[in-house]
Amino acid sequence: MKAFFKKLLTVACTSCLCALAPELAARDISLPKYSWDSKLGSFHTNTYADNAGIQNDPLTEILSVSAVDVWGRIRSGFGIPALDNNLVNVHERYYAKRGEYFQRTTKRAERYLFHIVQECERRGMPTELALLPFIESSFNPHAHSPAKAEGLWQFIPSTGKQYSLSQNTFQDKRRDIIASTDAALTYLQRLYDMFGDWHLALSSYNWGEGNVMRATRKAEAAGREISFNGIFPYMPAETRNYVPKLLAVKNLVARPNLYGIHLPDIENQPYFVKIGKTKDIDVAVAAKLAEMPLDDFKALNPQYRYVIPGGNSVHILLPKDKARRFQRNLLGWSRPLSSWTSYQVTDARERIEDIAQKLGVSPDAIRQANNIPYRKALKFGSTILVPRTASFNKDIAPGVLDNAYIAYAADYKPTPPPVEEQPSVDETVDLRPSSRMKPVDILKEQPKYNVESPARRASWTSAAAAPKSNAAFTATKKPDVVVVRKADNRKKQENTWKKPDNTQKGTDKRKGHEKDYSRSTDTRHSRHDTRATNKVESKPMKGHQSVKAAPQKSDHRTVPQKGSADNRHKAAAPQAKQSAVKMVTYAKGGHSAPAPAKAPAKKDVAKNRKR
């Protein structure tokens, strides 16, 4: 009984859907005209495509209406086999945890996905490739990599030139939505024909076909299979994660509900249309005529920087609803459309300053518009972008857009780059103690290092010097460097230190003859500081008169000979106290710091004893 009612309910539902099918199909105006013709099988799942008789079923058409959007077309065209690699699961969890990033990137992709999917279907290529810009650039046409790759598909300069993507001051076709998509799919098809495996083809797109070929030879020599997992140990980390990332995004697009991902609705119809133009027009003016924000206009036309040159082969992309507004506003525009033009160097070498003077513009404006570095001149044949002036008012020459180039040469009269205006000061006074000064070397307390000392020497007040130092000068917080202005009445400091007279002779009591210490082989003795000749008084004994000891002119101890009577008592002359120290005067008004003399080394004393 239950089976009978279940079958009856199924028949009733089918009848209702069949009755509503023509009306629903007529109401749906978002479907393209070719969606119901012989190409309908490309939008169906593989199960429906394999059964020819099911295409005429009205229920199939109703299911196709809900499935035929850009995401449905991508799912129906999957053709890259799954990869047995743990990194796929790792990246699935990574993207699933970052739903906002995934949704933001797919939202940005709605401008380009319809065109890319349509090109993949036209070439018979797997539609997973339409998701490749998700990995390459996050669907950002202005993306720039450290390897100088540009655009949605991240072409490096050499590969871009190989596929006719010109790069100059006027345009960079690596960012062109239509041209770069065509070049990328052509390149991927060539790589697939080379390896016969989409995993290896994608690895070559990221790493280079030469590197993948060498990796396959290494894997073959090691007895490994020629596949992605076979060459996995020989690939860099970026390439190891490249294919698993794409397959992880594919799995999320295939089953978004399973991973908790929400995909934005993307209509199954073109987002933009091409508009041909024949006159030069600034990018900002074109965006204004289309009544679009400048960023939205550049998102569809990222290959142009400042001006869109005229020509029959030049086109711009605009949303369908903005195209009519652009044409209507262009007819009523009375002001100049472009403020830029081209200039070609005709001399063997021409400086930017000479070109700017000839045109009556700023040299920095020319350098900035063309990314010309300082201390560089332009060689013959270089074509640059310059502001349009009254004396130089002409359109960009035909053929410049694809053939322009810039060649640099060393500037024979270089102009230094502009620097920030330096403060008008005469000197910088360093308040930090010298690195040679140690606490043990300072015999007296040094003055506190604050702003008052240098200001006083420069005949300035601390209040006048404080704004120059950008610091709060208090007793607890002292600056490292203070900037002061030199006064006119500042006297030059004189070096008061004099060379010591070391020619004085000492008396050797043991032998009764004089010994000249000035002839010591150690030259450091001649550079000692001046020493005081202090008199040492001995305490008088009882019954004897007090006798003053002879002045000691040398700080070396006298050692008696062996066997002498004085050997029982070691005569040790006390060292003289330092009464004067060498004053090191720093240049430009620095603080004077004492630098005490070094004591003679033990080896030097021993040499003097032998003499």
In the three-class reduction of DSSP (H, G, I as helix; E, B as strand; rest coil), residue 537 is classed as strand
Question: ∠280-283-289 over CA atoms, to 5°?
Answer: 90
> How far apart are alpha carbons 281 and 301 in whole angstroms?
13
Q: Select which of 136, 220, 238, 452 is catalytic.
A: 136
Residue 164 Ramachandran class (φ > 0 left, ψ -120 to 50 alpha, else beta): left
> How far apart are alpha carbons 145 and 137 in whole angstroms?
9
Burial of 218 (0-12, 13-18, 19+ CB in 10 A): middle
Judge contact between 278 and 312, C-beta under 8 A. Answer: yes
Judge contact between 330 and 289, C-beta under 8 A. Answer: yes
| pLDDT of the residue at 59 | 32
CA dihedral 100→105→106→111, nearest 10 degrees, is: 140
Taking residue 518's Cβ as centre, other Cβ atoms within 10 Å add up to 11
What pTM value is reported for the model? 0.61
Tell me the domain boundaries of the chain: 2-68, 75-259, 272-331, 340-410, 427-484
Decide which of 1.10.260, 3.40.50, 3.30.70, 3.10.350 is the CATH code for 340-410. Answer: 3.10.350
Q: Does domain 75-259 have CATH number 1.10.530.10?
A: yes
- What letter does residue 481 receive in the DSSP assignment? E
Task: Please identify which residue in the block is written with the tokens 């240049």.
Answer: 587
| pLDDT of the residue at 21 | 41
Check the CA dihedral 290-296-297-301 and report its sign. Answer: negative
- What letter does residue 404 receive in the DSSP assignment? -
| pLDDT of the residue at 590 | 45
Q: In the annotation, is 100 catalytic?
A: no
Give the DSSP per-residue string, 562-586. TT-GGGGS---PPPPPP---EEEPP
For the chain (611 residues), the mean pLDDT of every run of 10, in chain order, is: 50 48 34 33 39 36 52 96 96 94 94 97 97 97 95 96 94 96 98 97 96 96 96 97 97 95 92 90 96 96 94 90 93 93 91 92 93 91 93 87 89 67 45 45 45 56 51 41 45 52 50 46 45 45 48 47 46 42 41 50 53 49
